[in-house]
Amino acid sequence: MSPSVSWKTRTKKATDGDWYASIAVKQYSPDVEGTRLVHIGDGSTAVRFDYQVQQGELIPLDDVVVNPPVSYHVSWLRLALELLLALMIIAFRPGSALYRYRFRAKDMRCVGSLGLVLALQIACIVGEWVLFGMKASPSGYGRMSTGMVVDFDQYADLANALLHGQISLNLPVNADLAAMSNPYDAASRIALGSTSLDCTPIFFDVAFVGGKYYCYFGILPALVLFAPYKLLTGNNLPAASAVLIFALLLACAAMALTVQIARLFARKGSPVSLGSVLLISSCILCALPLFYVLSSELFYQLPQTLALVFTFLGLSAWIESKLRGLSKPWLAAGSFLVACTLGCRPQFALSALLAVPLFAPEIAHLWIEGRASSKGLRAEIHTWLCALLPFAVVFIPLFAYNTARFGSPLDFGSNYNLTGYDMTHSSFPLTQMLPLTFLYFFQPPNLSTTFPFLLPTHQEMSTWLPMQASYGGYFALIAPFALVVAGWGSCKRVLRKRQLNMLCVSLAVIALGIYAINTHLVGFDIRYMLDFGWAIMLVAALCILAFDSYRVKSNDRGAGSNKHKRHLTCEAASTQLNPLRVRSRCVLGWVNVGLVLSCLGIFFYIFAVRNPGNDQLWWSVYSWFVFM
C-alpha cells in the first residue's frame, strides 16, 4: 500500500486563549498530490499538526504552504461517474419519455437500450474485479490467526479429485485431528493446532468425516468450470477467475429473466413500458446483492452465484414454455436448469415450487383434458414427464454422491464443516431471529462524515452467533428500491388479472423460508443475502410492472388529445403509451431514488473494504472530498 501520514489538527484564532483540537483524523498520501490539500477555514490564524507516528518514523513532509494557489483540475473518472449518475436520474425520472414507449422484445430500440444497460453492468463487474486483485487474489493455503488453514483452491482440488475418480479432497489429515472424539468443536480444534506434535495443517471450512476431507459446497461449479479448465490447460483455475466468469453469466441471465418477466406480464396485450423494464434490469444485480460479495473474489460465493444463474435461466425457460403454449422442450430445459441448483446451493432448489403458480392454468387445463379423453391423458402424461424427468436426471446422481460421502442422499455435509463453531451440535435460540431480522433487512447504514463515509457495524448478540460486520440492511442500504413491495396490496388487482399474484406470494414465501433457515443456522453475513435477495427482487419487479400499468385513460386526457391522435401514424400509435397516473409516478420516482442510493452505497462500500490492489485509486477518490 502507498505510504500515508495521519494527523489531527489544532487551530487558534486571534481571539482564542488556547488551541482547539479537532476530533477527526486526517490523512494524506505522498503519492497522490490532491491529498496534500488541507481545508482549515473558520478564520484561524494558527494551525498545529499532531502527527500520529511512532518514535523514529519519517514524516514525508518538505514544506507547508498557507493559502496555496490551486490549479483547476478535471478528474475524468469523477466526471464520468457524475454524468452516469445524472443520466440515470434523468432517464428514470417519473416524467421520462421511456415510460411512454411500449416495450417489445424485438424492437431494436428496446434491444439496444437493454444492451447498453448490460454493457454497463459488465463494465462494473469487470472494474470491481480488477480493483480487488484479479488473479492475484488469495490462492493456495492461507493460515488464519487461530492456526487453522484455509484452502483457497478448494474447488480446484475438488475438480482434481473428481478427475482422478475420488470424492474426497486430497488434503493431508492431521493424525491428532482424526483421533479427536469431536473434531467439530472449534475451541478444542484450535487448542489442538497449537499443541499437536503433528505439523500437518488443520483445514478450515471443509467437511471432515471418517478421517477424510470433503468439499461440502455444491459440486456443479467444479464440474462445469474447474474440471474442464483442468482438462484443457492442465492447470488449476484460480477461484478469482471463476468469480468473474460466474458474475458475468449472472448478469446475462438476470437480463434474460427481466425480459421474460416483462413478456409474461404483457402476454395478453397489457402494455409494459421500456422505462419500467430498464429500471428493473438496472436494479436486479444491486438487489442480489452481487456487488457486495464480488469484492472478496473467494470461492465461497461460487455455488451461490452459479445457483442464481441456473435459477434465472430455468425460470426464463419456463416462461418461454408458457408463452409458447406449454412448449415441451422449453419446459424440460427449464426443469433441468432449476434442478441443477441442488448441485450448487440446496436452498435454491425451492425455486422449483414456482412452477406451480406459474403453470397453474395449464395444470388445471391438462387435468380437465386428461379426464375427458385418452388423448388428453396421454398429452398430460407426456407433459408431466417433460417437467419431472429432468429433475430425476439431476437429482439421482447428486443423491448418490451424497450417499457415497455422508451415508444419506439428503445429507449435503454442512453439519460436518470444520468452521468457527460446532455446527453438528449447535442450536441457536429462535429469539435471535428478531435482532437478525432487523440486521438483515432494516439496519440503517453506519455513516461517517469522512471518506469513505460508510463504516461497518459490529452487532452484539445475547448469545454467540457467527457474525460478520454489517454495513446496512437490505431495505436500508442494499436495495432501498425493493421497498416497492410494500405497495403490493395496492397492485394486487392488476397482478390477479394477469394471473401473477400467486407467483408473488410464492416468491415471498420462498424468500422468508430461506432467510429463516439461513439465519437460524449460520447467523449473519452479507453473502447469505444472495440466497433470498433474488426472490424479493422478483416480487419488486412484478410490483413495478403493475404500477407501470396504471395510466391515464385516453378519454381523460382532454378533447384535444382525440384531435391529436388522428394525426398519429400507425407506428407511433402502436409504440406510445398514455401517461402514468400520479400514484405510479410517485412509486417509480421512489424506485429511481432507491436505485441511486443503492449505487452510492455500492460505490462507497468498495472503498470501505479497502484493498491493497486499489490503494492508488482509494487515495485519488479520497482527494475528491478534502474540501470537506
Q: What's the pLDDT at 329?
A: 96
Is 50 exceeded by the pLDDT of residue 412?
yes
Nearest alpha-carbon partner for 311 in 343, 287, 289: 343
Q: Which has more confidence, 73 or 464? A: 73
Nearest alpha-carbon partner for 251 in 118, 134, 111: 118
Distance of CA 410 to the CA centre of its chain: 27
Q: What's the pLDDT at 449?
A: 86
CB atoms within 10 A of CB 249: 18
Q: What's the pLDDT at 2?
A: 60
**Can you tell me the mean pLDDT for 17-21?**
86
Confidence of residue 424 (pLDDT cuts 50, 70, 90): confident
Q: What's the pLDDT at 557?
A: 54
Q: What's the pLDDT at 333?
A: 97
Backbone angles phi, psi at 89, to 5 degrees: -65, -45
- Complete edge-to-edge strand list for the sheet that includes strand 149-151: 141-143, 149-151, 203-204
- What is the per-residue pLDDT across 187-196, written as a single tens digit (0 to 9) for each? 888 888 778 7
Q: Which of 2-11, 325-334, 564-573 has the highest mean pLDDT?
A: 325-334
Confidence of residue 385 (pLDDT cuts 50, 70, 90): very high
87-101, 145-159, 194-208, 559-573: which range is least confident on average? Answer: 559-573
Return the H-helix or E-strand segment holding 535.
Answer: helix 529-548
Which residue, chain included where needed, has cell 419431472?
Answer: 388
Nearest alpha-carbon partner for 454 in 288, 291, 290, 609: 609
- Return d(Cα 310, Cα 224) in angstroms, integer: 12
- What is the per-residue pLDDT across 231-271, written as a single tens digit (0 to 9) for each? 999 999 999 999 999 999 999 999 999 999 999 999 877 78
Q: Which has more confidence, 557 or 142? A: 142
Is 60 exceeded by the pLDDT of residue 558?
no
Distance of CA 475 to the CA centre of its chain: 13
- Return d(Cα 498, Cα 369) in angstroms, integer: 23
Grid coordinates representing 313 are 435461466
Nearest alpha-carbon partner for 301 in 230, 240, 213: 240
Q: What's the pLDDT at 132?
A: 81
For residue 610, give the amino acid letter.
R
* Long-range CB contacts for residues 380-384, cutoff 8 Å, separation at least 24: 382/328, 383/326, 383/328, 383/331
- Return d(Cα 386, Cα 339) in angstroms, integer: 13
Strand partners, 102: 273
Q: What's the pLDDT at 33?
A: 80
Measured at the alpha carbon of residue 285, what is the angle toward residues 279 and 287, in degrees to the nearest 5?
85
Kindly tell me the burial class for residue 264, based on how many C-beta atoms sit within 10 Å of its own C-beta (0-12, 13-18, 19 or more). buried
Is 50 exceeded by the pLDDT of residue 560?
no
Structural contact between residues 290 and 250, judged by C-beta atoms closer than 8 angstroms: yes
1-10, 282-291, 337-346, 400-409: which range is least confident on average? Answer: 1-10
Return the H-helix or E-strand segment holding 5.
Answer: strand 5-12
Grid coordinates representing 488 are 403490493
Q: Which has more confidence, 40 or 366? A: 366
- Return d(Cα 135, Cα 116) in angstroms, integer: 27
Q: What's the pLDDT at 601?
A: 95
- Return d(Cα 121, Cα 252) in angstroms, integer: 9
DSSP symbols for 575-599: HB-PPBPHHHHHHHHHHHHHHHHHH
Average per-residue pLDDT in the chain? 89
Measured at the alpha carbon of residue 459, what is the angle toward residues 453 and 460, in degrees to the nearest 5?
150
Is 80 exceeded by the pLDDT of residue 229?
yes
Nearest alpha-carbon partner for 35 in 519, 625, 628: 625
The residues, ordered by sequence, that sit 6+ positions from 339 with a Cβ below 8 Å of its Cβ are: 314, 349, 352, 390, 391, 393, 394, 395
- Return d(Cα 124, Cα 106) in angstroms, integer: 26
For residue 100, give the amino acid letter.
R
Confidence of residue 346 (pLDDT cuts 50, 70, 90): very high
Return the H-helix or E-strand segment holding 203.
Answer: strand 203-204
Confidence of residue 415 (pLDDT cuts 50, 70, 90): confident
Q: Which of 269-273, 394-398, 453-457, 569-573 has the highest mean pLDDT?
A: 394-398
Q: What's the pLDDT at 196?
A: 79
Is 60 exceeded by the pLDDT of residue 566?
no
- Return d(Cα 292, Cα 286) in angstroms, integer: 8
- Return d(Cα 608, Cα 605) in angstroms, integer: 5
Q: What's the pLDDT at 135?
A: 56
Q: Which has more confidence, 31 or 2? A: 31
For residue 161, give the amino acid letter.
A
Q: Which has more confidence, 13 or 329? A: 329
- Return d(Cα 233, Cα 262) in angstroms, integer: 41
Confidence of residue 36 (pLDDT cuts 50, 70, 90): confident
Is 70 exceeded by the pLDDT of residue 571?
no
Q: What's the pLDDT at 565?
A: 46
Is 70 exceeded by the pLDDT of residue 572?
no
Give me the helices (H) in 132-238, please.
154-163, 175-178, 186-195, 220-221, 227-233
The residues, ordered by sequence, that sit 6+ positions from 38 with a Cβ below 8 Å of its Cβ are: 9, 26, 28, 626
Structural contact between residues 5 and 28, judged by C-beta atoms closer than 8 angstroms: yes
115-124, 475-484, 618-627: which range is least confident on average? Answer: 618-627
Q: Which has more confidence, 96 or 619? A: 96
Which residue, chain included where needed, has cell 416524467?
Answer: 95
